[in-house]
Every structure is written in structure tokens, then in C-alpha cells.
A and B are shown apart, each in its own frame.
Chain A
Amino acid sequence: AQTVTQSQPEMSVQEAETVTLSCTYDTSESNYYLFWYKQPPSRQMILVIRQEAYKQQNATENRFSVNFQKAAKSFSLKISDSQLGDTAMYFCALNFGNEKLTFGTGTRLTIIP
């Protein structure tokens, strides 16, 4: 069975700074997919970024980028130029294609004005 671990329950950073959220995972499969979801106070789950395990190039979406280290089974999310609207719970998740998502326990990120 696969597991996803987020070891930072809470983080805070000043507005406009850069912050990195950590995620590690464990799976015996070679083909899998990793995601970061954002859950703001509204509780909506919003997809931030995805990474295919077979791709070596790190995914980037505007201010959001990942550092995917396959050998280390690490998948961190970097948020550049953080904004107040980035305040949310961030969940790292993994699946094997058209299957359920397995989530980590989340990191609560607060952006300080």
C-alpha cells in the first residue's frame, strides 16, 4: 500500500517571500502521479500542480513549482512571491492513473501581511 507523508503540520511566511512545503511518499510501483491540492478556508479542493513520475522535468505552474526527487521519493512544492490568497491547507497526493487519490495529512500555510 502506498503512503504519503507531510511532516510540516503548519508553516507561516511573510507576504512576497518564498516557501517550500515538503512531501515524501512510499510506493513499490514505478508508474505513478503526484499532485498538490490547495484547500482554502472555503474548503474547496483546488488542484495546484501535477507531476508524472516518468518525467524528469519538474512541473511548473506560474508561481508554483515542484522539486521531484524520484530516488528519494520526495515531492516538495515551492511557492514564489507568496500572496495572501495562498493561505490554505495544502495536501500532497498520489495515485496510479485512473485510481483513487491517497492524501498526506496536509500542511497549513499562513501568509502574513
Chain B
Amino acid sequence: AAGVIQSPRHLIKEKRETATLKCYPIPRHDTVYWYQQGPGQDPQFLISFYEKMQSDKGSIPDRFSAQQFSDYHSELNMSSLELGDSALYFCASSFHLSTGAYEQYFGPGTRLTVT
């Protein structure tokens, strides 16, 4: 079965540079979530999109922005990178149901290292 695809898998950037992370959800999934997992921590929610509209926003820095495109893939843009942005960034996708919850399936993550 197709899974969530994230690219790149690894990314090394210097401070103050810009990074773009991409996420391709499971086919027919219309909702995308972004999470950040620091070393030894649990994943923290950043932002989500449903049908190309932002549906929720968490502790996402103003330096970060994201969008979901017409083909449902999503991109997380990170500017003015700081050392503290070094983390594993997950994208998860699900199929929106009007009632009930549908499981969120996670991609393999993008490991971002800021030097």
C-alpha cells in the first residue's frame, strides 16, 4: 500500500538559510498535518491543512509557513533557520470524515540539521 512520502529525507543547512520540506499524502487523503520532533521529545503539532485550506495552527514559528496544493501535496517553508530548528519533521495524512476520526499515517520524516 502507498504510504506518505517526504522529501528530502535528510537536510543540512546553515544558520539563517532557508529550507523547504515536501510531503505527498497517501492517495485520496485530503488532510495533511506537520509535526516537529526534537531530540528525545514527543512530536509537537505545527500546522494542518484540509482541502488546501489551513485547518489548525500549533506552535509554529512565524519564520515558518506552509501550504497545501491542488494535488494535496504540502510544503513547509522554513526561513532564517536557527540551531534550535534542528529536528525530525513529520508529515501525516488522513481522510477527513464528517463524523469520527480517521487514523493519521506518518511519513518517514525529514531530518533537518542546522549548523
Chain A positions within 8 Å of B, measured between CB atoms, are 33, 35, 37, 42-47, 50, 52, 91, 95-106
Q: Evaluate contact between A52 and B101: CB separation under 8 angstroms.
A: yes
Q: Which residues of B contact A44 (CB under 8 A)?
A: 106, 108-109
The total of chain B residues at the interface (CB under 8 A) is 31
Which among A33, A52, A96, A98 has the highest number of chain B CB atoms within 10 Å?
A: A98
Q: How many A-B Cβ pairs are below 8 Å?
A: 64
User: Main SS of the interface on chain A?
Assistant: loop
Q: Evaluate contact between B45 and A101: CB separation under 8 angstroms.
A: yes
Q: Which residue of A lies closest to B46 (CB)?
A: A100
Q: Which residues of A contact B37 (CB under 8 A)?
A: 43
Q: Which residue of A lies closest to B42 (CB)?
A: A103
User: Main SS of the interface on chain B?
Assistant: strand
Q: Tell whether A98 pairs with B90 under 8 Å between CB atoms, given A44-B106, A45-B43, A45-B106.
A: no
Stretch at the interface among B20-28, B67-75, B78-86, B92-100: B92-100
- From the candidates B42, B94, B99, B106, name the one contacting A106 in the complex (CB within 8 A): B42
A104 vs B105: C-alpha distance when bound (angstroms): 18
A91 vs B43: C-alpha distance when bound (angstroms): 9
Q: Which residue of A lies closest to B34 (CB)?
A: A100
**A–B complex contacts, Cβ < 8 Å, 5 sampled:** A45-B43, A95-B104, A96-B101, A98-B31, A105-B42
